[in-house]
Amino acid sequence: MKLKEIPNLLHADSNGKIFDDPDLHMSGRSGFDAVALDTDDFIALPEGSDLLELPGRKPIGFDKKTGVLTVIDKEIAVATQMAPAHTQLYLSSYVKEKKMLLPFRLLHIQLLDGLMENIMCRQFALMQTSGN
């Protein structure tokens, strides 16, 4: 199946409804870069593949008029999980929301600090009881 043009960018809202954006072309991700795709890069979605939301990630597409890479701030990126026996050349391109990472980092630091404090208190108590 040869496409005549690059498909529209797909994205989801907070209720899980998936939309296509008529103003943006899909982009792909190769390594860390969002790249423009060619019509030869597409195949029909194979049976057994899934379309998934990527919470905490904003979709990226190319503006059809200007060719400028554009991030949709208020929507959620989507991706496909290809069925086995099919090769996926590009991944879904997105930008991670930074606000989601900070609480997890802080939690990790707080847990680590609490663990270290707990270990140090136990060692001190053992030293006190053993007479060292």
Residues of 92-114 as b/e, b for ≥16 C-beta within 10 angstroms?
A: bbbeeeeeeeeeeeeeeeeeeee
Which residue would you say has higher pLDDT here, 131 or 59?
Answer: 59
pLDDT at position 99 is: 54
pLDDT at position 64 is: 95
pLDDT at position 98 is: 64
pLDDT at position 114 is: 45
Mean pLDDT for the stretch of residues 109-116: 44
CA distance 12 to 51: 11
Residue 129 pLDDT more than 60? no
CA distance 40 to 113: 52
pTM beyond 0.75, yes or no: no
Per-chain mean pLDDT for the chain: 77
The token pair at 117 is 């404090």
| CA 62 distance to own-chain centroid | 18
